[in-house]
Structures are given as structure tokens and as C-alpha cells.
Amino acid sequence: MRLNIPDRYLDLLPWLFATLLVAGIVHVVSVLLMPTVAPNDALARLASYVKSAAPAEGLVMLPQMAPGAETLPFEDPAFAEAVCVYDLAKGPLRVKTSVDGEDFLGLSFHGNAGRIYHSMTDRSAIKGKIDIVVGDARQIDALTSADEGDAPPPQEVRLTAPTKRGFILIRSLAKRASDQERARGRLSAISCQRFDLPQG
């Protein structure tokens, strides 16, 4: 049996393939580009809130969540939150606090373009302390080479951030609605400070 397809449809077949090829390329490129071109991602939202809240750096408390006043979508309303927006071009930073082992505290380290490069809770605190240094590869290298010598090994956890700009989101659970104040108090005890690399 011979297929009875008019020639002009067969002529269009290569164009159909070309259309699908273009569609495939456009689809892949647009998905890959989205994180870099999306104007309102979490980093942009937090950076603009921090700017409006005045302090130039350090830890900034996010307002208590309420309908129409959420800084980020899909956050848990049972939490009080604070953010430390950073730019490592100005230097590495240190996040430090002590934990009581009772109340949930979560720290997540976000690069730009939606990637979490580290996350932890108060459970992974060492001897009741959280002490984390965030730097780019060069800064962490400089710290490591400064260690060599007789000094005791460092107590801090060192993280290499994949991108210069990013943020650290800290979530403190208020187990009951009446615990909001305490949860915010735990956040304000956390420091997030830029520091200078040791000379040499």
C-alpha cells in the first residue's frame, strides 16, 4: 500500500522540524536565563526591604508576617525572621550566636539565582554555639593559610559562597502565637558582621 500524502505537506515537513528546533532552543534558553533576569527574586525583595529599613549592613529583622505584608511568599507564619544581605566584594562575614537547644532556629545560606549552598538548624550547633564564616574562594583560602602555624585549629565553620551577592535567612520558631516576642529576641541576639582578613 502506498501512503497517499500530498507532496505539499511533505514539503512542509522540514519547516515543521525547524519550528520544533527553534521552540526547543527558546524553551531551554528562557528557563536557564530566568534566574538571572527575574526582577523580583528573593534576593531583590530582601535587599529592597533592608534598604528601606535603613541599616547598611548586618542583621535586619523582617516585619511580622501579616496578610499583604509578607516580605517573601510561602513563608511559615509561625516564624519570626531576620535576614543578612551581603556582598562579599566588601569582605567576608561572620554569623555568630549561641543556642539553648530548646527552640528551633534555622539558618539558610542563599546565593543569588535561587541556590541554597548551605542550611542548618540549631541542632548542628557545636557546644551550644553557632559560628560561621562566609567568604568567596579567595577569602576562605586566605583564612586557611593564615591558620598554618602553632595556633589552635579554628572553632568556626567556613563556607565558600558560590556568588559574591547573596543572603542568609534566619528563621526562629514561635511555638505559640504568644512566643513571637521571644522568637524575635533570639534573632536580635544574633550577629552578622563583616570583618577584615588577617594581614600577611
Partner 1 sequence: MDLKPYANYLRAASAMIAGVGIGLFATVLSLNAGYGFNSLRAGAWTAWPHIGGADIDPYARAVISRSGEAPLGRDQGLAFIARADSNGAPLSADCEYRIIDPLPAARFWTIALASPDGRLLANPTERYGYSSVDVLRNEGGAFEIDVAREARPGNWLSPGESKGFVVMLRLYDTPLDIESAPDPNSFPKIVKLGCA
Q: Which spans of this chain sit near partner 1 (rule: CB under 8 A)?
A: 12, 15-16, 18-27, 30-32, 34-35, 38, 40-42, 44-46, 65-68, 70, 72-78, 104, 106-110, 113-121, 123-124, 162, 167, 169, 171, 173, 175-177
Bridge partners of residue 111, in order along the sequence: 166
Shortest distance, position 5 Cβ to partner 1, whole Å: 18
Would you say 88 or 107 has its CB closer to partner 1?
107
The CA–CA distances, whole Å, from 90 to 76, 106, 194, 195 equal 32, 25, 8, 9
Would you say 91 or 162 has its CB closer to partner 1?
162
Question: What is the rounded distance in angstroms from the CA atom of residue 119 to the CA atom of residue 109?
Answer: 6
Those residues whose C-beta lies under 8 Å from the C-beta of residue 38, and which sit 6 or more positions away, are: none
Would you say 19 or 191 has its CB closer to partner 1?
19
Would you say 88 or 171 has its CB closer to partner 1?
171
Phi and psi at residue 10, in whole multiples of 5°? Answer: -65, -35
Would you say 123 or 197 has its CB closer to partner 1?
123
End-to-end CA distance of the chain: 84
Shortest distance, position 64 Cβ to partner 1, whole Å: 11
Shortest distance, position 136 Cβ to partner 1, whole Å: 16
Shortest distance, position 137 Cβ to partner 1, whole Å: 15
Query: What strands lie across the sheet with 93-98, from one edge to the other?
Result: 157-160, 129-135, 93-98, 191-194
Shortest distance, position 100 Cβ to partner 1, whole Å: 14
Query: What strands lie across the sheet with 165-173, from one edge to the other?
Result: 60-61, 79-87, 165-173, 105-111, 116-121
